[in-house]
Amino acid sequence: MGASPSLRFLLLWIAIAAAADELYCDSWRLSVETNNAGSWRTVPPPCRGFVEEYMSGERYASDSNVVALESLAFAKSVQITDDGKDAWIFDVDETLLSNIPYYASTGYGSKLFNVTSFNEWVNLASAPALPASLRLYEDLLILGFQMILLTGRTESQRKITEDNLLLTGYGYWKRLILREALDLGKPAVKFKSERRAELEGEGLRIHGNSGDQWSDLLGSTMARRSFKLPNPMYYIG
């Protein structure tokens, strides 16, 4: 039994609307990744399903793999000296660790960020590793890079963050830098630029920097190469 003409029209209309959303949301995602969007607070309502599918399907994993491969290709071109000063910086959230389980339970960025519930999740120390980043991390260690972890998490979260990193396979780092009391009100881009300047002041050569936010990468004392991991769920300035 065929659908009635009005039902067929409705289904066609839904299909066209879904295709238009998909097209729009992919363009929105590009604008976010390129930082054309600038500051934004929540995933646009028509894109909630798109972001969920992106994050939980193969595309996020594939995009992350390609970033890791490009990072490794550059890393292999770096002349590592034996003075222990060749550094690579990694952000933590959505870079080394994935908070997808938390964001899956809160609408994949479609709701306003809730720092209370996010910190409850962080305190569980059960964020999985981002697989592509873990492989890159291991390769960079073998190449001889000094691993510097630079995160907007706070000193009060040091122990839980170390536990989570160790549990997921990040076995060694030279330094884990978190926000201290004086850093609490600072924009991420300022906090991270200041810390990079201190690292360079200590003679470290910052070859690469991996992060899911432009505020991990931009500012002053930038790395020679910056590698932007995908994140269409939230923006940090």
Q: Which stretch binds ligand NAG (CB under 6 A): 8-16, 111-119, 124-132, 182-190?
A: 111-119
Least Å distance between CB 18 and ligand NAG?
Answer: 29
Residue 194, H or E segment: helix 188-201
Give me 63's structure tokens.
């995009």
- Per CB under 6 A, 105 contacts ligand NAG: no
Q: 82, 116, 142, 181: which one contacts ligand NAG (CB under 6 A)? A: 116
Site for ligand NAG in 129-168 (CB under 6 A): none
| Total residues at interface with ligand NAG (CB under 6 A) | 4
Residues in 44-83 at the binding interface with ligand NAG, rule: CB under 6 A: none
Q: Taking CB under 6 A as the rule, does residue 4 contact ligand NAG?
A: no
* Binding window for ligand NAG (CB under 6 A); candidates: 90-98, 116-124, 150-158, 220-228: 116-124
Q: Is 117 in the site for ligand NAG (CB under 6 A)?
A: yes
Compute φ and ψ for 184, nearest 5 degrees. Answer: -60, -40
Residues engaged in binding ligand NAG (CB under 6 A): 114, 116-117, 120
